[in-house]
Amino acid sequence: MVLAAQTERASGPGLERWFAAAGAPVHLDLARSGAPARSVRDLLDLAEPGDVQEYFDMSLDYGPGIGTERLRAAISTYTGASPAEVVVTHGAVEALLLACGTAIGERQVVAVATPAYEGMCLAVEAMGGIAQSVPVWKPGSGCLDLGALCELDLAAYAAVMVNSPHNPTGLQADVAELEHLADCCARAGAALIVDEVSMGTLDSGAVSFGTSRAAESQAVMLIGDVSKAFGLGGLRVGWCATTCPKQRQRLATLRDVTSLGNSAPSQHLAALALENRSHLSVSEMARANLGRLDAWMGSRPGSSWTSPTDGLVAFPGLALPVSSLAFAERLLANHRVSVAPGGFFGHDRHLRVGLGLPPDVFAEGLAQLAEALGEAMCGADR
């Protein structure tokens, strides 16, 4: 079934506004979807002496709008896209916005694989398009099913948007299925926007869709960032890569009125992170947390559970006696634990739980969550 995304959000503000209203993150922040934050020092400690010097002496003048050569080369080794295909952006969120802006024209509808990170639908709407939600997952399912997207009359669509690894479930799209979707989009003259911001976090062996045969297609626009996998959200560095020169030209032109370019220090630090990514892997930590969550879920009556395969979030279904939003607010007020309510993703019996935390913090968060669930159940019995 295809629903208008606007209808799903009609009940109030979305997750990002809810986070903003909640203020500074708490210590037991199981709502986060990325790795623990890193510092400038963490990155400079990994750098060669010359790189540290370069950082201090760096000109703060405008740089190239598409991003520095060094950063685009580092993104290339991470994604498989060639440096010339990469446009650096302010986080993946600007990449989504620009990708939508280039795709939307006479065709206005963008099919968004849902449940989804809300920025995907908002980017479509901000660019004057119409976001259509196309469900690719239902509770209990252990895979993303892209079939409904392939069956659309794609000649009527500006673009299709897929996020893999998927926020909120942590599932990965099957590469063959995604390649088939890319072929369908290419034949229909629609873009395929693939957001893979959390790639390789839980699954250290995961590779970018940019290395697949379909990435050669001019229909594909690949989106990533250094925010999630490396805990560098504050650098505001993301990218959009495409083999289509016309699309790149349009991305660059649009970019002239969004942000012109990224800051040189941010790009330098992002390049250092990507070049030294083997030292920054969080997969061991995420797997330890997932093991604990798996065991925890096994002991919860009335729960439904699909274990994530990549990314830093999990989406357990729980027997919540109240709405996920009401539960999350009580959990925060009474236990100082933050989780993301599943209601924001259209699945109110679910909570999104982040795996990118030190294991002791994660364990304490889970213990508090269990206590709050017990209290909520007692309250429901009264």
Ligand X SMILES: Cc1ncc(COP(=O)(O)O)c(C=O)c1O
Q: What is the binding site for ligand X (CB under 6 A)?
A: 33, 91-93, 117, 119, 163, 167, 195, 197, 225, 227, 233, 238
CA distance 112 to 100: 11
For CA atoms 14, 18, 21, 25, give the dihedral sign.
Answer: negative
> Nearer to ligand X by C-beta: 186 or 357?
357
Give least dist CB 85 to ligand X, A.
18
Q: What burial letters (b/e) apply to 104-126, b meaning 16+ CB within 10 Å? A: beebbbbbbbbbbbbbbbbbbee
> Nearer to ligand X by C-beta: 117 or 362?
117
Q: Helix 283-298 to helix 359-381 angle, to the nearest 10 degrees?
A: 30
CA distance 68 to 79: 16
* Token output for 336: 């100082």
Q: Which residue sits closest to ligand X, CB atoms considered?
A: 91
Give least dist CB 327 to ligand X, A.
21
Read off the amino acid at residue 18. Answer: W
**Of 10, 193, 164, whose CA–CA distance to 100 is shortest?**
193
Give least dist CB 277 to ligand X, A.
16
Give least dist CB 199 to ligand X, A.
10
Give least dist CB 75 to ligand X, A.
13
- Contact 359/285 with Cβ under 8 angstroms? yes
Q: What are the start-end ranges of the H helices in the chain?
A: 5-8, 15-22, 40-46, 49-57, 69-79, 91-103, 118-126, 147-150, 175-188, 227-230, 245-255, 264-275, 283-298, 324-335, 359-381
> Nearer to ligand X by C-beta: 119 or 317?
119
Give least dist CB 242 to ligand X, A.
17
Q: How many residues does the chain have?
A: 382
Give least dist CB 283 to ligand X, A.
18
> Nearer to ligand X by C-beta: 200 or 376?
200
Rounded to 5°, angle at Cα 237 from 231 and 241: 120
> Nearer to ligand X by C-beta: 119 or 129?
119
Give least dist CB 53 to ligand X, A.
28
> Nearer to ligand X by C-beta: 313 or 373?
313
> Nearer to ligand X by C-beta: 129 or 356?
356
CA distance 310 to 307: 9
> Nearer to ligand X by C-beta: 186 or 232?
232
| Residue in this structure with the two tokens 């629609």, named with its chain if needed | 190
